[in-house]
């Protein structure tokens, strides 16, 4: 059940609604007024006109405090309450740390299912909407293998490779779907059952888009950039030269992510996009274990995970629970590492307190220090 929205979340939703999902306008207004709260105050609205914003945003803001627009906005809030299990502003401690370094991060996320999935290591699998049977099987097999190893498989809920990737991870209850619409609808509509399965089997659905947002074409590159940003690496399972997954791969490379491409027959049009990516520097893989090797995840975490997998008595109850006072710190850690000063700034705590808490997490086997940064070393399952 969705917790009551905080004032920061309410202000963020308000501004996000007024600028109609425009990232540039949102962050320009936040910077100009010093905070999101200041930007949406009635006395601030007349000042928007001097900031070079789109005329639609100005008109929407000028009409916002009229009874008709307030009624419409309240309807949006009711939809959020109805369809969301969680809402995260980028100021919230639970907001995924993977997204924070990017200037185009979504200011707010709406989600269904397990919030904890966002805090676990993710690997994205993307590809053609019209794959060959061979490509669909490969996506399923890679997803099944990697999710069995403890990784959340993220994709975009599209037809084809995305669908196979989600299905491959469902048996291990580790998949995350990023949508290009509001949570009140499913696109494509024939994936309604798949979407329900994801939520029912401890998966997660997220979107940056407000309710009543249709599946517009320009929303899908935005969805794809979030799929790659959340993940440690992106696997392109099968793609033609004009596949949208090629754009996802290039976005991932710009974000500094590792891009993996699975090769195929040289005369197959289904694989030409993957071959092009390999020529441009993507890593050729033909077995999912190679992905784990190239990601070079902390060896301590891999050893712990292997011992858990091989232990006949291992169970969810055997894994340590995180004390409540350590949760904010644990939520700030990820699989690539965070420096102590970075953690101190985000958590607004002194170094001595953080050092003591990090030591507690290390003793629980949930954190490790490597090359001067602190990393997670075991996922919560």
Q: Residues 208, 6, 173, CA angle at the centre, nearest 5°?
A: 50
Question: pLDDT digit string (tens) for 263-296?
Answer: 998 988 999 999 999 999 999 999 999 999 888 6
- The tokens describing 156, both together, are 């975009």
pLDDT band for position 336 (cuts 50, 70, 90): low
Task: Write the CA distances from 120 to 194, 247, 279, 333, integer angstroms.
Answer: 21, 25, 31, 10
Cα 368 → chain centroid: 23
At 356 the three-state DSSP class reads helix
pLDDT band for position 362 (cuts 50, 70, 90): confident
Domain ranges, ordered by start, for the chain: 7-83, 112-295, 320-376
Is-cis flag, bond preceding 188, omega within 30?
yes
The Cα 27–Cα 185 span in angstroms is 27
Percent of the chain at pLDDT above 70? 92
| CA neighbor of 251 nearest in space, from 269, 270, 231 | 231
Of the candidate ranges 167-171, 190-194, 361-365, 368-372, the one whose mean pLDDT is the lowest? 368-372
Q: Which residues contact 334 (CB under 8 A, 6 or more apart)?
A: 97, 98, 121, 375, 376
Handedness of CA 218, 222, 225, 230 (dihedral sign): negative
User: What does residue 259 show for φ and ψ, rounded to 5 degrees?
Assistant: -115, 130
CB 41 within 8 A of CB 77: no
Question: pLDDT digit string (tens) for 116-152?
Answer: 999 889 999 999 999 999 999 999 999 999 999 999 9
pLDDT band for position 71 (cuts 50, 70, 90): very high
pLDDT of residue 32 exceeding 90 = yes
- What integer is the mean pLDDT of 69-85? 96
Question: pLDDT digit string (tens) for 163-173?
Answer: 999 999 999 99
| CA neighbor of 35 nearest in space, from 90, 103, 111, 96 | 90
- The tokens describing 260, both together, are 């993996």
49: left (phi over 0), alpha (psi -120 to 50) or beta: alpha
Number of alpha carbons in the 13 Å side-chain half-sphere of residue 222: 21
At 35 the three-state DSSP class reads coil
Q: Residues 130, 114, 227, CA angle at the centre, nearest 5°?
A: 40
- What integer is the mean pLDDT of 154-160? 97
How confident is the model at residue 38, as a pLDDT? Answer: 97
Cα 164 → chain centroid: 19
- Token look-up 């001067």 returns 372
132-160 in b/e form (b: 16+ CB < 10 A) is beebbebbbebbbbbbebbbbbbbbbbeb
Of the candidate ranges 43-52, 73-82, 182-191, 334-343, the one whose mean pLDDT is the lowest? 334-343
Of the candidate ranges 18-32, 312-326, 338-352, the one whose mean pLDDT is the lowest? 312-326
pLDDT of residue 299 exceeding 90 = no
pLDDT of residue 309 exceeding 70 = no
How confident is the model at residue 289, as a pLDDT? Answer: 92
pLDDT of residue 316 exceeding 50 = no
pTM: 0.81
Question: pLDDT digit string (tens) for 102-121?
Answer: 999 999 999 999 999 998 89
CATH class, domain 112-295, is alpha beta
| CA neighbor of 295 nearest in space, from 124, 140, 95 | 124
pLDDT band for position 9 (cuts 50, 70, 90): very high
The Cα 198–Cα 119 span in angstroms is 17
The CATH classification number of 320-376 equals: 1.10.10.10
DSSP string covering 288-330: HHHHHHHHT--HHHHHHHHHHHH-TT--GGGSPPPPGGGHHHH
């Amino acid at each position: 059940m969705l917790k009551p929205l905080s004032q920061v979340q309410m202000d963020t939703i308000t501004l996000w609604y007024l600028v109609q999902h425009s990232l540039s306008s949102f962050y320009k207004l936040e910077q100009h007024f010093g905070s999101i709260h200041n930007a949406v105050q009635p006395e601030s609205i007349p000042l928007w006109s001097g900031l070079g914003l789109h005329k639609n945003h100005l008109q929407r803001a000028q009409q916002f405090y009229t009874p008709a627009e307030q009624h419409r906005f309240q309807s949006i809030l009711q939809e959020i309450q109805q369809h969301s299990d969680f809402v995260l502003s980028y100021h919230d401690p639970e907001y995924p740390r993977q997204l924070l370094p990017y200037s185009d991060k979504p200011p707010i996320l709406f989600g269904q299912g397990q919030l904890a999935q966002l805090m676990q290591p993710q690997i994205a699998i993307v590809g053609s909407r019209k794959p060959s049977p061979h490509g669909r099987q490969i996506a399923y097999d890679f997803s099944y293998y990697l999710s069995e190893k403890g990784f959340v498989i993220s994709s975009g809920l599209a037809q084809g490779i995305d669908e196979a990737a989600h299905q491959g991870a469902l048996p291990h209850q580790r998949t995350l779907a990023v949508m290009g619409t509001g949570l009140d609808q499913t696109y494509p509509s024939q994936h309604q059952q798949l979407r329900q399965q994801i939520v029912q089997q401890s998966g997660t659905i997220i979107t940056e888009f407000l309710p009543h947002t249709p599946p517009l074409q320009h929303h899908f590159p935005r969805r794809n950039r979030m799929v790659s940003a959340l993940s440690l690496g992106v696997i392109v399972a099968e793609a033609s030269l004009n596949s949208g997954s090629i754009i996802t791969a290039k976005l991932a490379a710009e974000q500094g992510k590792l891009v993996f491409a699975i090769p195929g027959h040289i005369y197959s049009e289904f694989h030409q996009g993957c071959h092009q990516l390999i020529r441009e520097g993507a890593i050729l893989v033909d077995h999912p274990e190679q992905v784990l090797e190239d990601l070079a995840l902390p060896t301590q975490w891999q050893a712990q995970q292997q011992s858990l997998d091989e232990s006949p008595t291992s169970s969810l109850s055997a894994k340590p629970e995180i004390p409540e006072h350590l949760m904010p710190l644990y939520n700030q850690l990820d699989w690539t590492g965070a420096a102590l000063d970075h953690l101190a700034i985000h958590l607004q705590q002194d170094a001595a307190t953080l050092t003591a808490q990090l030591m507690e997490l290390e003793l629980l086997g949930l954190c490790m220090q490597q090359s001067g940064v602190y990393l997670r070393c075991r996922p919560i399952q």
